[in-house]
């Protein structure tokens, strides 16, 4: 991590990092996201919850333009990162994704060594000048991902040979190695056992000091444990967005209430 | 819990598990029938394979042997080097017509030593050895002029009939109508064989030599055609692999799915099924008649085979790319790799085993292809010499292994037929080798997890 950016970012913890206005997403004829407005804060964990198929992943993937890879997907509306429209013609999604990292539902390490997995991002973005700096980034990222202790003796072993939980933490290390400003996580714990889940949740809480984290989860307990803000999606609409405590103790919308009490879903 | 301590309390089951019901029996019976059918199918396949391989080996293995007659030839300096200074240019002036009598004299000596001679005419004797004998001697003398003046033992090819007699192809009771061999000659052969002047040896000329004219079956070899095949494969590899892989990557990873790319996709699948002779006539029209490339050149053959191989390579490469899990692409894009980086750093290495397998299968197909070569003149008695240099090999007229085999199978002398089978053995060895390479490469790339 670069010290400069750290101090810069510490200035205002309640800064608005991402602003979305009137976002519509279509898959061909299907209207998957309807008119969503949301403000995602810096240095905060924001959870997206909602029943399966309500568009959480779709909206998350809008934030780093991963939807561009789906031919039939069209995004309308405005999404600003630090006030800049990420769907502007001048934006290269590749550059955007270096700033907005992503961790996927299924752990997907590259079929390369643990070291190469983490070093890949810094390498392609030219973040280091020599091997020593690269080693440093790899170590720092693995430490932040709470994986260093377990893998420091076998950095050249294949990343795919790790356990599921370790693989997911490796993917997190890979995502934070490029020093992104926002980290998107799509159900990062759904393929993990409870112990690994607890480790990743702890990790997410720590990541909050450096990044703005957006996490999609189908577990309301998880949302309650790790997030400060929660957004509830239903059938493509953003039904309610508020402080996590507020959503879970005193939801304003009846749909939110029936979901968290287990009547929709 | 207390129930568990009283197993005797079980009531008898409504339907016993120890008795198969009718439905289960029927199901099991049909499964057994299916297994038997599968085993029979595999058995038939294996039987045909064994039949095929044994036929090939039985018919073809004799092509690797050849009968030689040891003839002492006196290399008379008065005839071969009239100027007497062993000047290579002067030596070349002595043609095979000058050498032929010297070989005849040597042969006469061998025959007389065996106690024959009177009952054999001159032409009878000539028919014992290959028509290539004089040029064989001449080549050796030109390579080593110091032999002139000495009597040198030459291992001369026996003629194809004599060779066939030793291999059991020519029988005494069947040669009444054969102008090329008589019973007296066979008696001589038997006696020469006893003396050791006539013996069978491994036929290197068959493997490394050039095709020979109709009347010299014993001299024909597949070596030059092998070179032709090699040059064609080089062209195919250098053109089809990069073009095919680039096209597949573009279609699979970059191109938008629309009606135009659908059309291209359908076309590629159909091209893979187009008969190869169609590519041959296309090559004739486009490369020879329009582009004026030389006829019978391995370059043109390679171009035609490239066209033929491309669909195979594209189809298998696309399948290999499709088989790479999309999560790997997501992972690469997610850390900010460009599309091209994700393809070249992650997708392509994973698809490599499949691509290589497809390419080698395509090459193997091309190696065995005959029909298009007929149309561009790569068949027939084309090349007698090795090309003059590496690059010359691409344009100097040549044949290819399968076309050479086809050519031999057409000719009258049974010795050529034997060589056709022998050629098939060599072709199969090449194909086996290529498959082996495919397997090794696949293993090597797969080991990178
Ligand atoms: N690649 C796609 N092509 C077409 N429709 C899709 C695609 N991905 C998602 N959808 C549709 O968009 C809607 C939202 O899906 P998704 O964002 O995956 O929901 P969630 O992550 O909340 O379960 C669903 O109705 C789904 O069928
Ligand atoms: Mg989802």
How far B327 CA sits from the closest chain A CA (Å)? 6
Cα(B342)–Cα(B327) distance, integer angstroms: 11
pLDDT tens profile B25-74? 999 999 999 999 999 999 999 999 999 999 999 999 999 999 999 999 99
Order of strands, edge to edge, in the sheet holding A84-85? Answer: A30-41, A16-27, A73-81, A84-85
Tokens (6 digits) for B393: 């090999």
Domain residue spans in chain B?
64-202, 223-445
Q: Which among B257, B334, B341 has the least Cβ separation from residue A175?
A: B334
Count of CB atoms situated within 10 Å of the CB of B289: 11
Instruction: For residue A59, give the ligand nearest its CA.
Output: 1
Band (A225; pLDDT cuts 50, 70, 90): very high
**Angular region, B66: left φ>0, alpha ψ -120 to 50, beta rest:** beta
**Min distance B251 CA to chain A CA atoms (Å):** 14
Residue in A with minimal Cα distance to B447: A111
Of B256, B328, B333, nearest to A110 by CB-CB distance is B328
Residue A265 has pLDDT above 80, yes or no: no
- Check CB contact under 8 Å for B327 and A124: no
Ligand nearest to the CA of A50: 1
Select from B313, B308, B342, B340 the least CA-distant residue to B325: B342
Is the pLDDT score of B2 beyond 60? no
CATH architecture type of domain B223-445: Orthogonal Bundle (1.10)
Q: Per-residue pLDDT tens for A88-145?
A: 999 999 889 989 999 999 999 999 999 999 999 999 999 889 999 999 999 999 998 8
Q: Is the CB of A74 under 6 A from ligand 1?
A: no
Say yes or no to pLDDT of B329 above 60. yes
Best mutation site among A51, A58, A232, A264 for ligand 1, i.e. most ligand atoms within 8 A of its Cβ?
A58
Alpha carbons A160 and A151: distance in angstroms, whole number: 13
Cβ of residue A230 lying under 6 Å from some atom of ligand 1:
no
Is A160 within 8 Å of B336 when comparing Cβ atoms?
A: no
At B124, is the secondary structure helix, strand, or coil?
A: helix
Cα–Cα separations (whole angstroms), residue B443 to B322, B353, B440: 20, 8, 5
Find the domain containing A34 and state its range. 16-260
Q: Residue A243: its pLDDT value, please? A: 94
| Strand A16-27 relative to strand A73-81, pairing | antiparallel
Global model pTM greater than 0.90:
no
Mutate to test the pocket of ligand 1, among A49, A51, A53, A219 (most ligand atoms within 8 A of CB): A53
Residues in A closer than 8 angstroms to B256, CB to CB, are 71
- Structural domain count of chain A: 1
Residue with tokens 């003398």: B141
The string over A122-145, giving b where at least 16 C-beta atoms fall within 10 Å of a residue's C-beta and e elsewhere, is: bbbbebbeeeeebeebbbbbbebb
Is the Cβ–Cβ distance between A177 and A207 less than 8 Å? Answer: no
- CATH code at position A151: 3.40.50.300
The answer to the question of residue A9 being in a domain is no
Which among A69, A111, A120 has CB closest to B335? Answer: A120
Task: With beta carbons under 8 A apart, name residues in chain A contacting B336.
Answer: 94-98, 101, 121, 124-125, 178
* Both structure tokens of B83: 């100027």
Cβ of residue A52 lying under 6 Å from some atom of ligand 1:
yes
Distance CA B271, CA A102 (A): 42
- pLDDT for position B190: 87
From chain B, pick out residues whose CB is under 8 angstroms from the CB of A112. Answer: 449
Question: How many residues does the structure list for chain A?
Answer: 265
In a domain, residue A6? The reply is: no
Q: Is residue A4 part of a domain?
A: no
What is the spatial order of strands in the sheet that B151-157 belongs to? B151-157, B65-74, B198-202
User: What are the structure tokens assigned to A5, written together?
Assistant: 């950016």
Average pLDDT taken over every residue of chain A: 89
Instruction: Compute, in angstroms, the gap from residue B263 CA to the centroid of ligand 1.
Output: 29
Give the pLDDT confidence of B192-224 residue by residue, as tens digits: 888 888 888 999 999 998 888 888 888 899 999
Q: Residue B198 belongs to what H/E stretch? A: strand B198-202
Distance from C-alpha of B353 to C-alpha of B321, rounded to nearest angstrom: 10
Chain A interface disruption, residue of B334, B344, B351, B446, most A CBs within 10 A: B334
Please name the residues in contact with B362: beta carbons below 8 A apart, sequence gap of 6 or more.
B236, B240, B244, B309, B312, B313, B316
CB contact under 8 A, A160 and B449: yes
Q: To the nearest whole angstrom, how far is the Cα of B335 from the nearest Cα of chain A?
A: 6
Rounded CA-CA distance B424/B407 in Å is 12
Residue A173 and residue A176: Cα distance in Å, rounded? 5
* DSSP structure class, residue B145: G
Per-chain mean pLDDT for chain B: 89
Answer yes or no: is A228 within a domain: yes
Q: Is residue A123 part of a domain?
A: yes
Which of B257, B331, B341 is nearest residue A124 as measured by Cβ atoms? B341
Q: What is the phi-psi region of residue A55: left when phi exceeds 0, alpha when psi lies from -120 to 50, beta otherwise?
A: left
Q: Cβ–Cβ of A98/B336 closer than 8 Å? A: yes
> In Å, how far is B256's CA from the nearest CA of chain A?
7
Structure tokens at B311: 């669909």
ipTM summary value: 0.87
Q: Is the CB of A70 under 6 A from ligand 1?
A: yes
Crossing angle between the packed helical segments A114-125 and A164-176, to the nearest 10 degrees: 20
Across-strand partners of B71? B154
Query: Do the domain assignments include residue A226?
Result: yes
Check pocket membership of A54 for ligand 1, CB cut-off 6 A. Answer: yes
Give the other-Cβ count within 10 Å of A257's Cβ. Answer: 16
Examine the pLDDT at B312 and tell me if it is beyond 60. yes
């Amino acid at each position: 991590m670069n010290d400069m950016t750290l101090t810069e970012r510490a200035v205002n913890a309640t800064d608005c990092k991402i602003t979305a206005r009137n976002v519509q997403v279509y898959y061909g004829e299907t209207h998957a996201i309807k008119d969503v407005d949301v403000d995602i804060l810096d240095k905060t964990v924001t959870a997206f919850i909602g029943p399966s198929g309500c568009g959480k992943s779709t909206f998350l993937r809008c934030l780093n333009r991963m939807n561009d890879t789906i031919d039939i997907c069209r995004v309308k509306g405005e999404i600003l990162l630090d006030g800049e429209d990420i769907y502007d013609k001048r934006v290269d999604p590749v550059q955007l994704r270096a700033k907005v990292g992503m961790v996927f539902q299924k752990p997907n390490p590259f079929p390369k060594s643990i070291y190469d997995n983490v070093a890949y991002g810094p390498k392609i973005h030219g973040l280091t000048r020599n091997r020593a700096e690269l080693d440093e980034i790899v170590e720092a990222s693995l430490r932040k991902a709470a994986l260093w202790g377990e893998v420091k003796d076998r950095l050249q072993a294949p990343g795919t040979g790790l356990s599921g939980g370790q693989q997911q933490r490796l993917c997190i290390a890979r995502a934070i190695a490029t020093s992104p400003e926002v980290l998107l996580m799509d159900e990062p714990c759904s393929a993990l056992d409870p112990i690994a889940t607890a480790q990743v949740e702890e990790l997410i809480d720590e990541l909050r000091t450096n990044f703005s984290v957006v996490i999609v989860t189908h577990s309301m307990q998880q949302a309650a444990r790790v997030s400060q803000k929660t957004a509830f999606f239903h059938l493509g609409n953003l039904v309610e967005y508020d402080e996590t405590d507020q959503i879970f103790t005193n939801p304003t919308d009846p749909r939110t209430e029936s979901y968290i009490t287990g009547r929709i879903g | 819990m207390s129930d568990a301590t009283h197993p005797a309390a079980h009531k008898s089951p409504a339907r016993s598990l120890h008795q198969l019901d009718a439905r289960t029996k029927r199901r099991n019976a049909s499964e057994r029938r299916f297994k038997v059918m599968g085993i029979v199918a595999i058995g038939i396949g294996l039987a045909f394979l064994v039949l095929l391989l044994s036929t090939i080996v039985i018919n073809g293995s004799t092509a690797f042997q050849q009968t030689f007659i040891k003839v002492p030839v006196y290399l008379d300096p008065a005839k071969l080097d009239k100027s007497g200074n062993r000047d290579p240019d002067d030596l070349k002036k002595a043609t095979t017509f000058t050498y032929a009598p010297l070989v005849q004299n040597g042969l006469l000596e061998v025959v007389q030593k065996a106690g024959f001679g009177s009952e054999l005419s001159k032409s009878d004797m000539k028919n014992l050895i290959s028509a290539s004998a004089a040029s064989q001697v001449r080549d050796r003398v030109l390579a080593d002029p110091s032999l002139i003046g000495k009597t040198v033992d030459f291992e001369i090819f026996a003629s194809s009939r004599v060779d066939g007699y030793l291999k059991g192809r020519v029988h005494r009771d069947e040669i009444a109508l054969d102008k090329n061999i008589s019973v007296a000659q066979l008696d001589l052969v038997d006696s020469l064989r006893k003396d050791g002047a006539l013996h069978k040896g491994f036929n290197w000329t068959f493997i490394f030599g050039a095709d020979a004219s109709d009347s010299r079956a014993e001299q024909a070899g597949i070596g030059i055609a092998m070179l032709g095949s090699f040059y064609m494969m080089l062209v195919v590899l250098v053109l089809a692999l990069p073009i095919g892989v680039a096209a597949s990557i573009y279609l699979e990873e970059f191109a938008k799915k629309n009606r135009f790319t659908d059309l291209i996709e359908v076309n590629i699948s159909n091209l893979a099924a187009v008969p190869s002779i169609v590519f041959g006539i296309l090559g004739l029209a486009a490369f020879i008649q329009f582009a004026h490339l030389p006829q019978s050149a391995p370059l043109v053959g390679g171009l035609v085979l490239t066209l033929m191989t491309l669909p195979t390579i594209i189809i298998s490469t696309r399948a290999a790319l499709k088989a790479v899990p999309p999560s790997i692409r997501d992972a690469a894009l997610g850390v900010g790799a460009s599309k091209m980086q994700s393809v070249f750093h992650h997708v392509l290495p994973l698809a490599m085993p499949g691509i290589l397998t497809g390419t080698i299968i395509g090459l193997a197909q091309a190696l065995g292809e005959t029909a298009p070569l007929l149309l561009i003149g790569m068949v027939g008695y084309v090349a007698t010499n090795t090309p003059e240099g590496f690059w010359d090999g691409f344009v100097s007229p040549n044949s290819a292994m399968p076309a050479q085999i086809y050519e031999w199978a057409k000719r009258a002398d049974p010795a050529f037929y034997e060589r056709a089978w022998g050629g098939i053995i060599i072709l199969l060895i090449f194909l086996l080798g290529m498959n082996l390479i495919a397997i090794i490469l696949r293993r090597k790339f797969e080991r990178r997890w």
